[in-house]
Amino acid sequence: MHHTVAHPLIAAELTRLRDRECPSFEFRERVRRVASLMTPAVTADLELQTVACQTPLEITSGSEVARPVVLVPVLRAGLGFLDGFLDLIPNATVAHIGLARNEETLLPESYYENIPDGIDEAEILLLDPMLATGGSAAAAVTRLRESGAVRLRFACLVAAPEGIASFEDIHPDVPIFTAAIDRCLNEHGYILPGLGDAGDRLFGTI
């Protein structure tokens, strides 16, 4: 299942992100802002539990998110997408998965992992701005599952139809939330029209 998170403010931010003249400092700020704008839609169905709440006047009942939330940015580009989610879910734990796509095979290669214990109890939000072939996101979900994760969702900025199809084939039960579904991949596995290499643009390594 995939959802396009549509909002006029997101559409305007994305247009500026696609602009090749948008410098790194501005790119980072806008990616963070889109992440925050997406957070309500991505988390809309989180389960709540009822809790007692003592106001200054009396006891009432309220709600809290039933399970801990773990945010998992896929390094590097996912780091740029993380802070906007953390702004709205400040008590989330952050796990890290480091993957780099091999430029020839387009397959993800793992170089770092820090996945805490207890993720079997948690709501996991996997974060990566780009879903191109889908290989990186699918590999990250596989690793999280091997580590015990059960409740997973994936958020990205821009997805290619090929990546959505491949990811859904491998992990049909993990919902994808994206700000845009673009046209296709080019022969180098880049999304068209896309926004280029998100990691390089975030960190100024172009």
Binding region for ligand PRP (CB under 6 A): 74, 76-77, 99-101, 106, 108, 128-137, 163, 189, 197-199
Does 92 help bind ligand URA (rule: CB under 6 A)? no
Q: Which residues pair with 124 in a beta bridge?
A: 70, 152
Please confirm whether the linkage preceding 193 is cis (ω < 30° from 0): yes
Q: Which is nearer to ligand PRP, 31 or 51 (CB)?
A: 31
The separation between CA 101 and the C-alpha centre of its own chain, rounded to angstroms, equals: 17
Residue 23 has a CB neighbour count (10 Å cut-off) of 9
The answer to whether the CB of 122 falls within 8 A of the CB of 46 is: no
Q: What is the number of the residue whose Cβ is closest to ligand PRP? A: 199
Give φ, ψ of 100 to 5 degrees. -125, 130
Does 156 help bind ligand URA (rule: CB under 6 A)? no
Does 130 help bind ligand URA (rule: CB under 6 A)? yes
- The interface partner of residue 84, options being ligand URA, ligand PRP, none and the CB cut-off 5 to 8 Å by kind, is none
Which residues make up the interface to ligand URA (CB under 6 A)? 77, 130, 132, 189-191, 194, 197-199
